[in-house]
Structure 1
């Protein structure tokens, strides 16, 4: 039992960020009009992927400008559509903090070598499936492991790991696509860690955060937080309409549940058995079709359901 708890705690150090001490080399961004232009890479195509093995999955989601499940990895994007896998032939960036939005996706991370892009990417956005990238903020100055965006595009959040001219330590949010930032007050937030954030798909002021002591919820951009679950370790979460889909680790078991933030009602979901050392790392629900659900695990397994979680199909095993 003690060995298992220690093991899962070590695993989750990569999922959670200790609130008291963070380190990310961010400087105040100085961007010119030239730098804000779209970044283009030639010879870009989306082709069927015959085989691949992912070493690191950085995020998953259902962008609104495509009918596919996107997987962001350390070597670019993989897309699953109509029972086939696809990949890009260029712009294979390490997309950290990947967020699917209605017009495409937003991410941070590191550029593919040879693309002549500054490292780190800051916050970038693509509306053409990764062919071009628009620089939103902090280009060449910061990398964000914890980002969140409303599907509608009216709320963008990052966790600042080191204060600078525009960002404060902790949770920061923007309502103008990264042009200006405000610090979330986090009133009544008592957890000792920051974790994955999720934003309501339509209401950009509604935030949920996973921590080692449960889920904190806010309807005012994180200025006031409410603890809405028992003090359990939550490893991943996402919104499904007004409800929150989340995974927790409780009594040596990995669980998948939904919670109604208003009533507190929780419903356990059926999903494939996972070993204790293979917790869920990312969750995604398609805002255009809530029956489409996907999750990844620490060991790079990927499962998807197209019937609201009644049946699941494993799409990747150990990243393959």
Structure 2
């Protein structure tokens, strides 16, 4: 079982995720597109009676809705007022999903039959997925690791293949993807790059989960500081100025909060998870910090609306059964 756990964690933290999605290097099929891809098929958000998610690509609380969003390989699922919803079209394979105040940012692959280039590069939606605005690398690159400030003033990607516009490693943009700079990562000593989180208000402040702890930066990742002990961290999210994260220590899955400036840490209560089912994605609602959600390797989903005192199991094995 320990060997299996190591394999799982390598998938979570490794430079390239084994998610069945590729960072396409082949020449994409070219189609004539406007700067904003307007989908002409009837778009609606309807109640989802049942579904099974094969892959969860990210979660978050977009500021233009009052719902928890799940990005999956077959589009968006939204949980609001104890009901699940989904879109009728635009069921794209979203990857690197990031909730922001005006909507969401993502990468990934378009739904088959829709005239969008593959891969999507970085796209943004301010209307719950009805239309996509192309930010950068459209038709060129797919990003497994992205991060964005809720305020919209900081955008980060990990370049897995260098090109004329992007360097290998962490790159950041302060102008919504128009131009990019490479983070210097001074004093970064981990042997892997992993999931990133950006401060909800200050786009210069980031944290990164690695196999050897959390690295923190307040200058766009140009200088980094290890703020935890060197243990495996699988997921993290800012909760105000603090960082909520999940670690794996002594074959146990833990949930903690750390103040990056003081180093003070607190343990959080949460449902028991088998050590081969670690936490994969985590989200805190910047508009209500008591609203927290996380997913697991086996596609379980939990949410708390009281700051982690009580948790509701919204999905088990990615399944929403018929009522």
TM-score by length of 2: 0.94
Match of 2:4 among 1, 4, 7: 7
- CA displacement at 1:187 relative to structure 2: 0.2
Deviations 1:266-313 (A, max 9, x none): 100000000010000000000000000000000000000000000000
Runs of at least 5 residues in structure 2 that lack an aligned partner in the other structure? 17-21
TM-score by length of 1: 0.95
CA 1:34 to 1:294, structure 2 compared with 1: closer, same or farther past 3 Å? same
- Once residues 278 and 40 of structure 1 are traced to their aligned partners in structure 2, the CA distance between those partners, rounded to angstroms, is 38
Indicate if the aligned counterparts of 1:215 and 1:234 stay in contact, CA closer than 8 A: yes
- Once residues 121 and 137 of structure 1 are traced to their aligned partners in structure 2, the CA distance between those partners, rounded to angstroms, is 9
Deviations 1:87-134 (A, max 9, x none): 000000000000000000000000000001111000000000000000
- Once residues 32 and 182 of structure 1 are traced to their aligned partners in structure 2, the CA distance between those partners, rounded to angstroms, is 29
Q: Match for residue 307 of structure 1?
A: 306
- Once residues 232 and 93 of structure 2 are traced to their aligned partners in structure 1, the CA distance between those partners, rounded to angstroms, is 27
Indicate if the aligned counterparts of 1:27 and 1:142 stay in contact, CA closer than 8 A: no
CA 1:137 to 1:28, structure 2 compared with 1: closer, same or farther past 3 Å? farther
Indicate if the aligned counterparts of 1:120 and 1:142 stay in contact, CA closer than 8 A: yes
Indicate if the aligned counterparts of 1:26 and 1:143 stay in contact, CA closer than 8 A: no
- Once residues 28 and 202 of structure 1 are traced to their aligned partners in structure 2, the CA distance between those partners, rounded to angstroms, is 38
- Once residues 100 and 123 of structure 1 are traced to their aligned partners in structure 2, the CA distance between those partners, rounded to angstroms, is 13
Q: Match for residue 242 of structure 2?
A: 243
The within-5 A match list for 1:171-250 is 171-250=170-249
CA 1:295 to 1:124, structure 2 compared with 1: closer, same or farther past 3 Å? same
Q: Match for residue 81 of structure 1?
A: 80
- CA displacement at 1:33 relative to structure 2: 11
- Once residues 18 and 125 of structure 1 are traced to their aligned partners in structure 2, the CA distance between those partners, rounded to angstroms, is 24
- CA displacement at 1:166 relative to structure 2: 0.7
- Once residues 199 and 153 of structure 2 are traced to their aligned partners in structure 1, the CA distance between those partners, rounded to angstroms, is 10
- CA displacement at 1:156 relative to structure 2: 0.3
Indicate if the aligned counterparts of 2:31 and 2:117 stay in contact, CA closer than 8 A: no
SS at match of 2:51: coil
Indicate if the aligned counterparts of 1:186 and 1:224 stay in contact, CA closer than 8 A: yes
Indicate if the aligned counterparts of 1:188 and 1:224 stay in contact, CA closer than 8 A: yes
Indicate if the aligned counterparts of 1:28 and 1:138 stay in contact, CA closer than 8 A: no
Deviations 1:201-246 (A, max 9, x none): 0000001000000000000000000000000000000000000000
CA 1:33 to 1:244, structure 2 compared with 1: closer, same or farther past 3 Å? farther
SS at match of 1:50: coil
- CA displacement at 1:17 relative to structure 2: 2.6
How many residue pairs get aligned? The number is: 313
